């Protein structure tokens, strides 16, 4: 017996195919092939061209023990085959990267910046404030300073 796909996802279809090998009788009839999930009957399907296929879905995760049992006829004896079939939850596809909210004046955002100094002389922190001139007045005009961000005395 085969399964396609080889492993399943909850709610997605899977096709189990059993091949009936009956030399001299390429299309054995009988009562068909009964497919089981453990002890539960999934369905009984006819044999066509020496094959019986069942399409089904699963609503639970885990390993399902699937058995295909050929019921036999006057020319071919009964037989069965079993495979474990693993079903998992559908992985959630990654969504779009969320857009960060617009900055709120005076609130920190994640980043590592220096405010009012450098990492050696203090003033380092984990705050980023957008649209602000550090070392300036409330009107946005910068105070003169050196290249390290220190104001002139």
Verify that 76 and 106 share a domain, yes or no.
no
Q: Nearest 5°: CA angle at 115, between 111 and 121?
A: 115
Please state which of the ranges 8-12, 15-19, 41-45, 95-99 shows the lowest mean pLDDT: 95-99
Per-residue pLDDT tens digits for 18-55: 998 887 766 666 778 999 999 999 999 998 888 999 99
Is residue 57 situated within a structural domain?
A: yes
What is the distance between the alpha carbons of residues 138 and 143, in angstroms, rounded to a whole number? 11
Residue 95 falls inside a structural domain? no
6 shares a domain with 79: yes
The model's pTM = 0.58
**Domain presence at residue 61:** yes
Rounded Cα–Cα distance for residues 6 and 85 (Å): 8
26 and 76 fall within a common domain: yes
Top-confidence residue, 36 or 148: 36
Is the residue at 72 inside a domain? yes
Q: How many CB atoms lie within 10 A of CB 144?
A: 7
Domain ranges, residue 112: 102-147
Whether 80 and 123 share a structural domain: no
């Amino acid at each position: 017996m085969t399964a396609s796909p080889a492993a399943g996802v909850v709610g997605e279809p899977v096709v189990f195919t059993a091949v009936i090998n009956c030399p001299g009788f390429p299309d054995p009839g009988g009562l068909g092939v009964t497919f089981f999930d453990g002890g539960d009957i999934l369905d009984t399907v006819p044999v066509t061209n020496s094959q019986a296929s069942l399409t089904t879905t699963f609503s639970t995760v885990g390993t399902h023990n699937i058995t295909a049992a050929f019921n036999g006829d006057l020319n071919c004896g009964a037989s069965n085959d079993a495979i474990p079939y693993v079903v998992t939850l559908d992985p959630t596809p990654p969504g779009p990267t969320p857009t960060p909210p617009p900055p709120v004046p005076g609130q920190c955002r994640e980043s590592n910046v220096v405010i009012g100094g450098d990492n050696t002389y203090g003033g380092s922190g984990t705050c980023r404030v957008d649209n602000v001139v550090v070392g300036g007045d409330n009107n946005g005009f910068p105070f003169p300073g050196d290249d390290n961000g220190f104001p002139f005395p």
